[in-house]
Structure 1
């Protein structure tokens, strides 16, 4: 596999007269988390379906794990794992039986099968529930079992399509921890989500998809710095110091009750260094400072014209 686990150029997909993917380009570096954001109907799941060979593209070229999805679909499938929006577990089987089923389907040698099942039950903290029917599992436990089943084939690229939808905050954070561990082992994660905090916490790079087009791509911090509103908040010990600072920094906003000053900036190291140098030149000393940037919700709204709450409806 090259430095890039997934590459796509000019990817197109339509259903009758509706264009779902309108020529998108993707480059996902191996061993990273790449998050695709977008409102419902933006084309996220369609993108996953095409990249995983579940749906055929109408145009463009795609390579996954170094293989062309059109001519080497079998090799692509052998290299990937897919976890969809809903846990694909057999509720009549126990957790252990679900994993054993995947071992059999993946033709894992008998001498290794039991070891694989045991290791995955332990890794996902499912040992106590291993012999209970999956129908008795909580939503978080089902998602963990679903992902454990995906790992039976030891995929190096895993597609997670909104994997924490419907989970409580504790279960969501458990899933985040599992994803981080997978990446630490060198696995590439392609993540779609409507939870902006999730992308902010996990993703090395984020792409925003809207109406079939990629409207932005970058690290979470890069995307947030594109928006106005980034500022440094300086806190002073006295009102006199605040008065002087307010005169020095044009365009700043003061808060007399908090003895603080909000100074516009881009959040970068160069502008921060210049701000601190200016304070030093005027013999001013701030009690403390914090850098505030727009969050991914702000980015999402600016790029798509919708908040995540509206988009999820």
Structure 2
């Protein structure tokens, strides 16, 4: 079979067939009287073998070795091909995300495109200072898609850069909550923490309340804490158990106590908060430091809600707790008239 016939039947161009011949990869068995290449059936089969291996990503050099070396084992090479292909796909996925980010910014000219690309390059820097600078020096009026900023927020471990990114996301005007929701459900606890903290900064945005409500039941106390502080500030009483738990644990306990005080302005919620705090005070596992924090939380409650509990604590067996409670009772009595008939300790 002449080279033109082989090319038509195999789909391999005559130029490539000549290249195979020059490399010694597929040499025609014979030549015609006129000197033209003449391929046998075995030569054609070898061509198909070469093309099959090329389809897997092997180089011509690797194919030659595979076909000529009887001791050649494919397992290691196939493993390398898998790794190289995964790396290539990862690079292509990154490129696709970049293109989508540029498209989402609705650029009006190439200057807008270049600014978005510059921001993405800055966010990819290994230097935290460079990443922070890329966010804070962004020109005014250049739209940045919320998806881009949200992805950066979820990946950022430096607290200063993360704060700048949350600020930029809140100012982006996009649907940051939608972009962060997947992160709030991630199996990676660090990603969930970053997502919920960012959503807490946009608690008034549509959809934020639902995500924060779900986060109140998160197994991680930090995630629950971010959600409880943000929800409590919005008057969500479902945050009360988590806020009380934060007082017990000493995690942002002052802030949690202040929010509990605000929530206690609702009479129905006040009794619930009082019961939760006094229940923790009576817990056998509560040490002196924990009971002092709970005592401090009682004084934040609205009106006279916690005063009687404080009066009882002023006679507590734990002298440190009794002294703190006595001091608070004195402050409360100065602020408002004494409760008639109440015993002054």
The normalised TM-score by structure 1 is: 0.33
Larger Rg: 1 or 2? 2
From the two aligned structures, give the one with the greater helix fraction. Answer: 2
The normalised TM-score by structure 2 is: 0.31
**Which one scores higher on RCO, CA 8 angstroms, separation ≥ 6?**
1
